[in-house]
């Protein structure tokens, strides 16, 4: 398979099927991906025409026929074949070589005029649509009209005369649409088809697929030119698609679709109702047995489930292609586990290693079995960024307060906002799903939703919100109307779509058990969790501690927010002290819940990070109320404070440790509450492990000052204890400067946690809430960025900073604990880099913990380069 880069997956597999497996494969040749890349760079490559002509001549000699010959024509198919499978994304042309003369030769040599003209009408329509860019409806409607006129239900029943008339009509369609007659020269036909396949690499659907699947735009596609075999020859012929196992369930039973007297496009396009492989056995028992034996050989060779395309031409089986098959999450897990046991019998039995089984399962597979999914699909109203996977159905509400009220009435809610803010948290908490018109994949809505496992779609900019309704084109959705959202695909649908509950299969737990054995002592997995409930759920999902407990999220609860505002609005030190004391009391309760849920495991508590104005009402809303209804005394004070604390660029304003410098009592209160919570749990016989994290430090001196406040409170809390608990103090590395000066900062730190969300923003100069929905799609489609850096770590920039920060920190303190707590902590590709950087653990949202466990093991297996069965 070392030739996949050059020949594409299909071409490499065809070569193996022919030479190694000696399967019945129609002869042909492959135009390499090099030619496609050259075409993309500078147009049709010089010398390619001559090379194609040479290989066509060899093919003609092998087959004893000439391309487009008027007496006995050689016909070929032209198919794409990229390195990575992209089913249905690029173009195929069949029956190439037919023209007004060769169709008569085909009719004569086969003694079947109907077959010849059926093949010709298919070729004209396919070539017209794909190569000449003629609207496909101009071919589809006449075909339907011909069936109605002759009183038949399927195209297989059309007579030779009707098919001749269709061919003439199709040629007129091409002449009208393009201004030129349908090409008759087979050499020009072949060049046109090859060029169309090259061009389809950069077609809209292929680009969109590559962006989603994270396939490079630079690879290009190979082109496979293959002798045609005909499933539409007669009723002793047929075509089908077969899988060596069930790709939906993983069951070890071949399945597929089959049609008599048809070509492959008929099966894929759903033009006719297909039969399954069991029914094929009734028509072709000998060929069915031969096909199953080939399936067994393919599995034995590739040691995986394969999907295949095959054709029967007048009682002879031909294999047109094979590839490792796409599969559902449940099927991927079942196959991976099953294949570690012997497959087959005797000397022909084979199996894969547990390490290989782990590598066979992808993050998407785990997502599918973890989150509820829709049982069927509805009509898509709008589409946004798939921010948090899973399916949700509920009534639409446009404010957090209305969402809470609806929830209290027992309604299922989908919260729809232009964008969310911390003020909306109470409404988000009760919602089945969240939909925003703006925002990116690490916007507030996206981050919170993923943390809670709530399905969410963000950046659905087709949605125009107007008061208590939203509009998409001519469709209006009012408050209380029911919608369904699919956070896995980003699709919004009207009405209630039935859901299938998520119940991970036994193989899910088996694969993760094997993954944990690989990870042990090499790369830990923690969770980002802010409540006892989240922490308990994270632990159930396999988290080995909390890597990020955001204390600000605790402040946003409805009973906490008023106290925070009292602290901000305090007119005297006494009032501020009283407010801080009350905040400390409720913080202790929160900390106890989190520490108890994670008993015996480390909990990293980040001290307050966001700017204070985020805890105050919107200035704009208060000013509007001031101008209309007037403000109360409290609201007037809130407006004054909000204006005082307002910033032009709060992301790099007074937040994190800078806020601690401005209000040192705030951090002291938090540490005091944290230590009190730990002491209360120790009295109960628990074993809390506390790590205090100071956010956004950029200098050694800054961290030294903040550390002194924290250490003073810790010393007060443990004074007089014989067995003093060890409490570590560290910082978040989330600016380029901090990463570059990590050696200095390490002198005052027990651990580093890389905050890759902000590190990405500050490295690229991107505002994550703005660029993702507006700019990022264009950048990805045009190849200006190979990955969305907020989803997958940018290796040359942010990744390099993480590696540099880790290296420099450990040069000063060899035992410095290193972790990561950004969104990237749950991304498989990023986890590979974190493992290479020598990090001790990754931390992610609770619902990404299983994915991180799997990905960490895959990083270790991939890095070791050694596998044994």
For the annotated catalytic residues, the residue numbers are 444, 821
Phi (first) and psi of residue 414, to 5 degrees: -115, 115
The span from the CA of 101 to the CA of 79, in Å, is: 24
Q: 101: which strand partners?
A: none
844-859: burial string, b at 16+ Cβ within 10 Å, e else: bbbbbbbbbbbbbbbb
Helix (H) or strand (E) holding 656: none
Q: Which two tokens stand for residue 354?
A: 């547990």
Rounded to whole angstroms, how far apart are CA atoms 345 and 84? 32
* Strand stretches in 437-474, DSSP E: 456-458, 464-466, 469-472
Cβ–Cβ under 8 Å, residues 430 and 411:
no
| Bridging pattern class, strands 469-472 and 689-694 | unpaired
Please name which of 482, 481, 487, 480 lies closest in space to residue 460, comparing C-alpha atoms.
Answer: 487
Cα–Cα distances (Å) from 293 to 97, 289, 343, 346, in that order, read 33, 6, 14, 15
Phi/psi of residue 279, nearest 5 degrees: -70, -35
d(CA 836, CA 543): 21
Contact 456, 487 (CB under 8 A): yes
Length of the chain: 869
Assign 74 to helix, strand or coil.
Answer: strand
In terms of Cα–Cα distance, which of 541, 511, 508 is closest to 330?
508
Query: What residues pair up with 526 in beta bridges, in sequence order?
Result: 843
The DSSP letter of residue 343 is: B
Q: Can you tell me the distance from the alpha carbon of 115 to that of 163, in angstroms, rounded to the nearest whole number?
A: 9
Residue 480 in 3-state DSSP?
coil
**360 CB-contact burial (10 Å; exposed 0-12 / middle 13-18 / buried 19+):** buried
CB atoms within 10 A of CB 736: 17
Place of tokens 């399962």: 361
3-state secondary structure labels for all residues of 401-429:
HHHHHHHHCCCCEEEEECCCCHHHHHHHH
- Which residue matches tokens 């369904």? 484
Q: Residue 493, SS3?
A: strand
């Amino acid at each position: 398979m070392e030739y996949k880069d050059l020949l594409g997956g299909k071409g490499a597999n065809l070569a193996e099927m022919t030479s190694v497996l000696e399967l019945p494969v129609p002869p042909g040749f492959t135009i390499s991906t090099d030619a496609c890349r050259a075409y993309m760079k500078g147009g049709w490559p010089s010398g390619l025409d001559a090379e194609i002509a040479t290989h066509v001549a060899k093919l003609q000699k092998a087959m004893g026929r000439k391309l487009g010959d008027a007496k006995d024509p050689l016909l070929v198919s032209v198919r794409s074949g990229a390195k990575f499978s992209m089913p249905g994304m690029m173009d195929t042309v069949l029956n190439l070589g037919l023209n007004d003369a060769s169709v008569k030769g085909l009719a004569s040599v086969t003694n079947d005029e109907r077959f010849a003209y059926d093949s010709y009408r298919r070729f004209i329509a396919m070539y017209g649509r794909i190569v000449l860019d003629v609207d496909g409806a101009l071919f589809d409607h006449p075909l339907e009209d011909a069936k109605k006129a002759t009183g038949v239900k399927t195209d297989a029943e059309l007579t030779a005369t009707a098919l001749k008339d269709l061919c003439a009509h199709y040629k007129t369609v091409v002449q009208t649409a393009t201004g030129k007659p349908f090409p008759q020269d087979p050499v020009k036909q072949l060049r046109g088809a090859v060029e169309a396949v090259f061009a389809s690499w950069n077609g809209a659907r292929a680009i969109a697929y590559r962006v989603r699947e994270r396939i490079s735009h630079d690879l290009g596609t190979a082109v496979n030119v293959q002798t045609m075999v005909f499933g539409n020859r007669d009723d002793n012929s047929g075509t089908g698609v077969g899988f060596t196992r069930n790709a939906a369930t993983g069951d070890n039973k071949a399945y597929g679709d089959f049609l008599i007297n048809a070509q492959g496009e008929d099966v894929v396009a759903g033009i006719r109702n297909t039969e399954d492989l069991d029914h094929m056995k009734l028509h072709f028992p000998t060929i069915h047995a031969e096909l199953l034996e080939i399936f067994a050989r393919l599995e034995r060779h590739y040691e995986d489930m394969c999907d295949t395309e095959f054709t029967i031409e007048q009682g002879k089986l031909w294999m047109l292609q094979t590839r490792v098959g796409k599969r559902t999450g449940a099927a991927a897990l079942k196959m991976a586990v099953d294949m570690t046991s012997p497959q087959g019998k005797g000397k022909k039995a084979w199996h894969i290693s547990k390490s290989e089984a782990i590598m066979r399962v992808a993050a998407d597979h785990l997502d599918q079995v973890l989150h509820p999914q829709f049982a069927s699909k509805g009509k898509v109203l709008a589409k946004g960024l798939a921010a948090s996977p899973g399916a949700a159905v509920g009534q639409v509400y446009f404010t957090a307060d209305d969402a809470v009220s609806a929830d209290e009435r027992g309604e299922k809610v989908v919260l729809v906002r232009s964008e969310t803010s911390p003020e909306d948290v109470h409404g988000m908490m009760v919602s089945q799903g969240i939909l925003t018109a703006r925002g990116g994949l690490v916007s507030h809505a996206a981050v919170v939703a993923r943390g809670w496992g709530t399905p969410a779609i963000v950046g659905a900019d087709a949605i125009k919100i107007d008061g208590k309704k939203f509009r998409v084109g001519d469709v209006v959705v009012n408050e209380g109307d029911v919608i369904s959202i699919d956070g896995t695909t980003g699709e919004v649908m009207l009405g209630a779509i039935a859901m299938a509950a998520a119940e991970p299969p036994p193989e899910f737990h088996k694969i993760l058990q094997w993954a944990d054995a690989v990870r042990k002592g090499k790369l830990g997995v923690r969770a980002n969790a802010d409540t006892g409930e989240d922490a308990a759920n994270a632990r159930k999902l396999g988290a080995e501690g909390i890597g990020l407990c955001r204390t600000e999220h605790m402040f946003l609860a409805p009973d906490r927010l008023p106290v925070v505002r009292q602290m901000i609005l305090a007119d005297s030190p006494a009032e501020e002290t009283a407010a801080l004391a009350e905040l400390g009391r409720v913080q202790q309760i929160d900390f106890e819940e989190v520490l108890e849920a994670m008993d015996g495991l480390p909990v990293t508590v980040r001290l307050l990070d966001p700017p204070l104005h985020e805890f105050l009402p919107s200035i704009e809303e208060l000013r509007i109320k001031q101008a209309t209804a007037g403000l109360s005394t409290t609201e007037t004070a809130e407006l004054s404070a909000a204006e005082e604390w307002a910033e032009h660029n709060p992301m790099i304003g007074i937040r994190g440790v800078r806020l601690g410098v401005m209000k040192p009592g705030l951090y002291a209160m938090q540490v005091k509450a944290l230590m009190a919570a730990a002491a209360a749990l120790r009295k109960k016989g628990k074993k809390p492990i506390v790590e205090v994290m100071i956010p956004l430090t950029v200098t050694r001196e800054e961290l030294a000052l903040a550390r002194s406040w924290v250490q003073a409170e810790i010393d007060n809390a443990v004074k007089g204890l014989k067995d003093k608990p060890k409490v570590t103090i560290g910082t978040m590395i989330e600016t380029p400067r901090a990463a570059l000066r990590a050696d200095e900062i390490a002198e005052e730190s027990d651990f580093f946690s890389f905050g890759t969300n902000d590190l990405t923003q500050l490295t690229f100069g991107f505002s994550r809430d703005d660029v993702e929905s507006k700019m990022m799609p264009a950048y990805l489609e045009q190849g200006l960025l190979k990955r969305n850096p907020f989803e997958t770590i940018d290796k040359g920039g942010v990744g390099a900073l993480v590696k540099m920060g880790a290296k420099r920190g450990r040069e000063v303190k060899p035992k410095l604990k290193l972790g990561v707590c950004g969104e990237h902590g749950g991304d498989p590709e990023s986890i590979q880099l974190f493992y290479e950087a020598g990090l001790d653990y990754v931390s992610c949202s609770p619902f990404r913990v299983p994915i991180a466990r799997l990905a960490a093991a895959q990083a270790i297996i991939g890095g070791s380069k050694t596998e044994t069965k």
